[in-house]
Copies of this chain bind each other. A is one copy, B any other.
């Protein structure tokens, strides 16, 4: 009998997308669904970069260099310089989205059976790439009470084995929105040097830091050989569908090996690279408006959430996600119920159950992730829905008022 592979069986389905059929069914019933479940921003892709593609005079859409067009990589050198990262165009490998940068990192640095430590909750697709690469994810818990700060370094030390080869940090974090401090990044640096670990640094949301300074893994002197930066233009310029990212590293051995994976797939998308070049030429103030908008949305969302009885949402310092603890028995059930059995004024809200972001089974059962990728009016309407839903949901748990109040 024909059988699929073990990894094909073990590969986790997307936890964010598994509720999609319920959302489609709700829509068919005429219910408007506010999508706070997925990091697809509504901010317009800058017209300048779409126009760059519209005005291309290219006659033949050729393969680019496997590492990306040199002209684009040289532009990226300028971009990185602006954010305090000093790299050459030969340390930048242009990838098909940040996803491919993550994949190249796993395949280039880790053997099957190796372990990668990731503070949980974490970006769920790390699981998929780990599964594809045969790598084991070792989660260590960060807590909603601290706003998902870096777990104590002792927690890392406890799980480090001979198999541990890397730590992944996403900064600012998806799904928590937490912005790691310089002190935390220094702690990560020290442990990576002490135990000879790679630091995979996913910095997709670099431009969206609200209450503090962004510290890149590439800002840490002495860690140059350890850092594999995974980057993407998806969120930065609201261009998720371009599929354009980059793997950046000063470790030549890693770069050269990643390049062989890049050669096997020939080249990253060509039209997206035209957009990428134009993006580097956007005026420096370009980010002011989207950043202000995200910040206003965050403030609204967090305020509304924390005003609901039994709900706790730490204020995220960056990205465009917030994690909230809800007074519900099971966030998977609750999110499905929102789509299947609930509506308010013919509207409902789609959230991502946090269970999909934890590596440890059982965690996240009373947490959800909210992506503030809709305008404030929609967020307000979505919060109205959530508020009503929490009043009606049959699986509601007792609200610990004192604790909830204390946390706010």
Residues of chain A touching chain B, judged by Cβ–Cβ distance below 8 Å, are 1-2, 4-9, 11-14, 17, 38, 40-45, 50, 53-56, 58-64, 66, 96-97, 99-100, 103, 107-112, 114, 125, 128-129, 132, 134, 196, 198, 225-226, 238-243, 251, 253-254, 257-258, 260-261, 263-272, 275
Contacts and interface: CB of A to CB of B under 8 A. Distances in A.
Contacts of A11: 257, 260-261, 264
Contacts of A66: 14, 17
A269 B225 CA distance: 32
Nearest to A192: B2
B97 A265 contact: yes
Interface residues of chain A: helix, strand, loop or mixed (majority) = loop
Nearest to A274: B271
26 contacts: A5-B107, A5-B109, A5-B111, A13-B263, A14-B263, A41-B60, A45-B58, A45-B59, A50-B58, A54-B56, A60-B238, A61-B238, A61-B242, A96-B269, A97-B266, A99-B264, A112-B112, A112-B134, A125-B266, A128-B261, A129-B264, A132-B264, A240-B267, A241-B269, A242-B269, A269-B269
Given A66-B17, A241-B271, A263 B128 contact: yes
Contacts of A226: 2
A266 B8 contact: no
Given A14-B66, A54-B54, 16 more contacts: A5-B111, A7-B111, A8-B108, A8-B257, A45-B58, A45-B59, A53-B56, A61-B242, A63-B240, A64-B241, A96-B96, A107-B132, A132-B261, A243-B266, A243-B268, A269-B271
